[in-house]
Structure 1
Amino acid sequence: MRLRLAPDNTNFDFFKHRKLTFGGSCVAMVLSVVVWLMMGLNFGIDFKGGTTIRTESVQVVDVGAYRAALDPLDLGDVTITQVFDPTFGADQNVAMIRIQSQDGQESVGADLVVAVGEALKTVDPTITFPSVESVGPKVSGELIMTALLAVGVSLAAILFYIWLRFEWQFSVGAVFALFHDVILTVGIFSLLQIRFDLATIAALLTIIGYSINDTVVIFDRLRENLIKFRKRDLQDVMNLSVNETLSRTLMTSGTTLLALIALLILGGDVIRGFVFAITWGVVVGTYSSVFVAKNVVLMLGVNRDDKPADKGNQFADIEA
């Protein structure tokens, strides 16, 4: 028996409440920017600067015990990650402890590093500290600029690819939907003050890739239907295209969310921000593919008179 998340031959009118769906998305984008400007982002050590301490011990690393030992020191943002490597011996247990800059200093002071060492020795007397490295504000600023550049270049490349693959109206709609996804994700991180670090940037790039994949599937079906139903109203053809791909959209998003929710609940504190960003991005990315991208294309319009009978434009036969 085949599982169906949506019945065959659905005929939902996705434009019926477009003032609410598309207009609500635009309002949400504006509010996200306002929240971002007013509350700012809770930058992690990667962007604020701080110190990374590498520990090594004979006993198995207990992240919870390490964190409990460091809590009385009131160090602010502390990330503890166990390091796994097949080259390590059975008695070689390594962890990375990242501590944010204290009171505007470039790194954690030597006295505080000593205090951290003493606190951890109460948990594991065999612990040693092979290396202590600091990230100053200059490096953090470079990381912020590199992260912004990575997101910007990816959006520009997608804009160019969608233009080649379809039409310029499609590329504008797709990139607007991606901006929608990124801005709403940054907005929710600012509102909830979830730690924003390089892992979150990786999550944003993952969201962009996931969302554009879903949008391209709908656009590809739309292009086929625009050739097949030349005289049919553009809005009706768009509705038909979304309905025809609805089962695939729900199945892909649903199975992805199953894995992400499991990681969100069971994955632990280290990856929770990363997983939350992708989970949120899958939801808003699916929404934007259905309710945002096609509304932009509808407003811009598509010239259907100059299309040959077998392809959308001169670049349409490029393999995805």
Structure 2
Amino acid sequence: MTQELKVINFMGIRKYTSGFSIILTILAVASIVFQGFKLGLDFTGGTQLEVQFDRPADLAKIREVLEEKQLHSPVAVTFGSDADVMIRTQDQMSIKGREYIAAEIARLGNGASLQDVIRPTREQEGFVDVLVINNLTPDQVAQSGLFDTTRFGKTIVATKDNTTQIAIEKGLDLVYSQHLLKELEVATGASIKLRSSDSVGPQIGDELRDSGGLGMLCAFALVFLYVAVQFQWKFSVGALVGLIHVTIVTLACFTFFQWDFDLNVLAAIIALIGYSINDTIVIFDRIRENFRKLRAVDPIEIVNISMTQTLGRSIMTHVTVFLVMAVLYVFGGELLAGFSKAMMIGVVFGCYSSIYIAANATVAMGISKEDLMPRPKDETEGGADLTP
């Protein structure tokens, strides 16, 4: 004889879990509204440098230099090999270059200062930036030796409107990148080669943020429609409430701890929507099946039976994914840390949401046997009886 299944009374504490979920959601929304996200380079704009060392890179010293230079949210990770390093910062190298040159000019004394950086004229074709400097004559520029060809390339010095204008062949972004690499060479004792430098503008970051938000809304809408077609609209409400809950809680963790929120995290959130609905659909499918089999059983008891039957499968699935994400967090490096953290948090709350949010909300909607009974076939279906 088979052992009778011991049914767990999940719905017996549904009032307490509902109260906990409401409080948790309120706190999560408050954290998102008042704390705000610490947006990463993908959304704020910034610079990514790929550099190559002539020896294994010392990431600790590299990060120390980046902190000393007061770069905003700097990240330094190896890729490909331990001699290839990717440096990411939310600073634009052109802005840091302007600050760096302004400080260099101010150290010349006599009130010298950088007034502006303008675009070259047609007569200055082939040059990238033009520095407008106050209280510094062309003779003083030559004597200072500040604008050497190694750092700035070719230069043209002229006077205009009581200012000295210096057209430089290398842009301020490249000037500062080279300065940063020199500082890294001094700190690490290595020879460094700049392989590439990419800049992301704030406007592109805004477009990525808006597209990501639109992507999440589309995912919610498609899930709602899918569940409504496959099951019943009351199930769709439960599934959508569960997905919104796990999404908000996961996002709130990033605002509360002020972890960087970038495209990898956004990808994890969208992946969580698909992953969480998968577990929810398994539970819903078993509920529908049991509603049709156990017609004399109370709806709440049917939900308890269904979730008990799928509990082992849910635990194994969630634990497996959580362990994989934990390994990815430990060994995946900084670039994948946000993705793995979002997935781990989402897996934990996704398991909770499938049981105590999605199923609970479906029960609260008053799901009944009539909602899930297959439609009776038309008596005339299949052709009329022509027997005399």
- The one of 88, 97, 104 equivalent to 2:87 is 97
Q: What stretches of structure 2 of length at least 5 have no aligned partner?
A: 98-172, 377-388
Instruction: Give the deviation of 1:168 after TM superposition.
Output: 0.8
User: May I ask how many residue pairs the two structures share in their alignment?
Assistant: 297
CA separation in 2, counterparts of 1:35 and 1:106? 34
Q: How is 1:207-218 mapped onto 2 (pairs within 5 angstroms)?
A: 207-218=272-283
Instruction: Give the deviation of 1:196 after TM superposition.
Output: 0.6
Cα distance change of structure 1 residues 255 and 130 upon mapping to structure 2, 3 Å threshold: closer
Note if 1:30 corresponds to 2:30.
no
TM-score normalized by the length of structure 1: 0.85
- 3-state SS of 1:15 partner: helix
Instruction: Give the deviation of 1:124 after TM superposition.
Output: 5.3
- 3-state SS of 2:278 partner: helix
Cα distance change of structure 1 residues 207 and 115 upon mapping to structure 2, 3 Å threshold: same
CA separation in 2, counterparts of 1:84 and 1:234? 56
Q: What stretches of structure 1 of length at least 5 have no aligned partner?
A: 1-6, 86-91, 312-320
- 3-state SS of 2:369 partner: coil
Instruction: Give the deviation of 1:93 after TM superposition.
Output: 4.5
Note if 1:175 corresponds to 2:240.
yes
Are the counterparts in 2 of residues 225 and 241 from structure 1 also a CA contact under 8 Å? Answer: yes
Higher relative CO (CA 8 A, sep ≥ 6), structure 1 or 2? Answer: 1
The one-letter amino acid paired with 1:59 is R
The one-letter amino acid paired with 1:244 is Q
Instruction: Give the deviation of 1:67 after TM superposition.
Output: 1.7
Instruction: Give the deviation of 1:231 after TM superposition.
Output: 2.7
CA separation in 1, counterparts of 2:346 and 2:16? 20
Cα distance change of structure 1 residues 133 and 264 upon mapping to structure 2, 3 Å threshold: closer
Counterpart in 1 of 2:65? 69
The one-letter amino acid paired with 1:98 is R
Counterpart in 1 of 2:178? 114
Counterpart in 2 of 1:316? none
Q: How is 1:260-271 mapped onto 2 (pairs within 5 angstroms)?
A: 260-271=325-336
Are the counterparts in 2 of residues 106 and 135 from structure 1 also a CA contact under 8 Å? Answer: no
CA separation in 2, counterparts of 1:276 and 1:20? 28
CA separation in 2, counterparts of 1:160 and 1:95? 45
The one-letter amino acid paired with 1:227 is R
- Structure with higher Rg: it is 2
Counterpart in 1 of 2:254? 189
The one-letter amino acid paired with 1:203 is A
- The one of 5, 10, 13 equivalent to 1:17 is 13
Counterpart in 1 of 2:35? 39
- 3-state SS of 2:48 partner: strand
- 3-state SS of 1:74 partner: coil
Are the counterparts in 2 of residues 59 and 124 from structure 1 also a CA contact under 8 Å? Answer: no
- The one of 55, 63, 70 equivalent to 1:59 is 55
CA separation in 2, counterparts of 1:175 and 1:279? 20
Are the counterparts in 2 of residues 170 and 297 from structure 1 also a CA contact under 8 Å? Answer: yes
CA separation in 2, counterparts of 1:309 and 1:155? 27
- 3-state SS of 2:11 partner: coil
Are the counterparts in 1 of residues 38 and 259 from structure 2 also a CA contact under 8 Å? Answer: yes
Instruction: Give the deviation of 1:112 after TM superposition.
Output: 3.9
CA separation in 1, counterparts of 2:88 and 2:4? 52
Instruction: Give the deviation of 1:106 after TM superposition.
Output: 8.0
Counterpart in 1 of 2:340? 275
Note if 1:138 corresponds to 2:203.
yes
- 3-state SS of 2:304 partner: helix
CA separation in 1, counterparts of 2:371 and 2:194? 69
Cα distance change of structure 1 residues 306 and 145 upon mapping to structure 2, 3 Å threshold: closer
Higher normalized strand content (fraction of residues): 2
For each residue in 1:164-199, what CA deviation from the matched residue of structure 2 results, as whole angstroms up to 9, or x when unmatched? Answer: 111111111111100001100111111110111111
Q: How is 1:252-267 mapped onto 2 (pairs within 5 angstroms)?
A: 252-267=317-332
Cα distance change of structure 1 residues 310 and 64 upon mapping to structure 2, 3 Å threshold: farther
Cα distance change of structure 1 residues 9 and 307 upon mapping to structure 2, 3 Å threshold: closer
Moved more, 145-154 or 129-138: 129-138
Cα distance change of structure 1 residues 306 and 299 upon mapping to structure 2, 3 Å threshold: closer
Counterpart in 2 of 1:219? 284
Moved more, 139-148 or 19-28: 19-28
- The one of 287, 297, 300 equivalent to 1:232 is 297
Q: RMSD of aligned C-alpha atoms? A: 2.4
Note if 1:305 corresponds to 2:383.
no
Q: Percent identity?
A: 34
